């Protein structure tokens, strides 16, 4: 069968939340590191099917917020409600199992491993049976292995990275490393995808490619996306709603056009170089 895979089949798993309903709610979250208040009493939500941007100057608390959402940090106050389940503390691997995957501000891949191996590694968190079972090559394990391989191949095809599948990612240009990292997150089949500055350090062409992939992930797979991004052109183009942080506080929240003209946002962020 040489037919190209139909990418519309690559849908996010059914998380039981209707399109447009609240998928994630961050409620009154505060997080401090010693005396440093990274996040102060922040609340916002992410609705199923949307692209939600998180913007703000360096040190505003954006990355910390993603780390709270995916369980890296436990806030001193407040809760996270994901798919209707409320919690404060959660381990990152539990977050993955519940459908939250992410990429990092500084690419976090296994540099000596190939593109294919890195994406398979993302997939491994989904594997029901342990590696021992895989090795035994038993019927059920074999079927599962084949299914995982098919999903990974679909992602490689979707992201147009066939030509680098066997190259160690440390040897790839930065823009492609970012794409591989997106692939690894997609391999987890998230219902909520968190992207921390997915276009940082990219040239214009790489940014356009990444924008297109983000839109395709959202529209074709139905994946809800929360992304941190500095390029306001990208934010305006991609996002349905924007939350703006400054010094750990939320200073604005709304559609991009509205946020862009908000005086507090202009003063804190848009009017200053970053
Ligand atoms: N692990 C940490 N330990 C101590 N301070 C931290 C840690 N992570 C973040 N911070 C501090 O929290 C604040 C917010 O940082 P961060 O969330 O990385 O901001 P942003 O992503 O918006 O640039 C900064 O003052 C930063 O120095
Ligand atoms: Mg950051």
pLDDT tens digits for 141-151?
677 778 888 99
pLDDT tens digits for 226-257?
999 988 889 989 999 999 999 999 999 999 99
pLDDT for 2:
40
Q: Pick the range with the lowest mean pLDDT from 36-40, 85-89, 164-168.
A: 85-89
- Residue whose CA lies nearest to ligand 1 atom number 4: 33
pLDDT tens digits for 106-126?
888 889 999 999 999 888 776
58 alpha carbon – ligand 2 mean position (Å): 7
36 Cβ below 6 A of ligand 1: yes
Q: Which ligand is nearest to the CA of 54?
A: 1
Per the rule left: phi > 0, alpha: psi between -120 and 50, beta: everything else, 143 is: alpha
Which residues, by Cβ under 5 Å, contact ligand 2, an ion? 62-63, 105
12 pLDDT band (50/70/90 cuts)? low
Mean pLDDT value of segment 78-90: 87
61 Cβ below 6 A of ligand 1: yes
Q: Which ligand is nearest to the CA of 55?
A: 1
DSSP per residue, 76-109 = SEEEEEETTEEES---HHHHHHHTEEEE-SS---
pLDDT tens digits for 176-219?
999 999 999 999 999 999 999 999 889 999 999 999 999 999 99
Residue 9 has pLDDT above 70, yes or no: no
């Amino acid at each position: 069968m040489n037919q190209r895979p139909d990418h519309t089949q690559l849908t996010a798993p059914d998380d039981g939340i209707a399109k447009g309903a609240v998928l994630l709610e961050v409620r009154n979250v505060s997080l401090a590191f010693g005396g440093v208040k990274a996040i102060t009493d922040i609340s916002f939500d992410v609705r199923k099917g949307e692209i939600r941007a998180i913007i703000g100057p360096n040190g505003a608390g954006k990355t910390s917020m993603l780390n709270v959402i995916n369980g890296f940090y436990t806030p001193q106050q407040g809760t996270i409600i994901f798919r209707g389940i409320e919690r404060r503390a959660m381990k990152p691997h539990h977050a993955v199992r519940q459908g939250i995957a992410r990429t990092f501000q500084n690419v976090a891949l296994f540099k000596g491993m190939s593109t294919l191996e890195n994406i398979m590694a993302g997939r491994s968190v989904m594997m029901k049976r342990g590696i021992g079972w895989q090795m035994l090559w038993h019927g059920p394990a074999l079927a599962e292995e084949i299914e995982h391989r098919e999903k990974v191949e679909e992602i490689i095809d979707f992201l147009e990275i066939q030509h680098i599948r066997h190259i160690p990612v440390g040897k790839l240009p930065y823009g492609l490393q970012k794409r591989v990292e997106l692939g690894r997150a997609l391999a987890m089949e998230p219902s909520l995808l968190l992207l921390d500055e997915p276009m940082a350090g990219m040239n214009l062409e790489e940014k356009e490619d990444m924008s297109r992939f983000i839109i395709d992930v959202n529209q074709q797979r139905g994946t809800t996306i929360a992304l941190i991004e500095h390029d306001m052109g990208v934010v305006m183009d991609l996002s349905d709603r924007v939350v703006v942080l400054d010094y750990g506080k939320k200073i604005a929240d709304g559609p991009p056009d509205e946020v862009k003209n908000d005086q507090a946002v202009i003063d804190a962020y848009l009017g200053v170089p970053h």
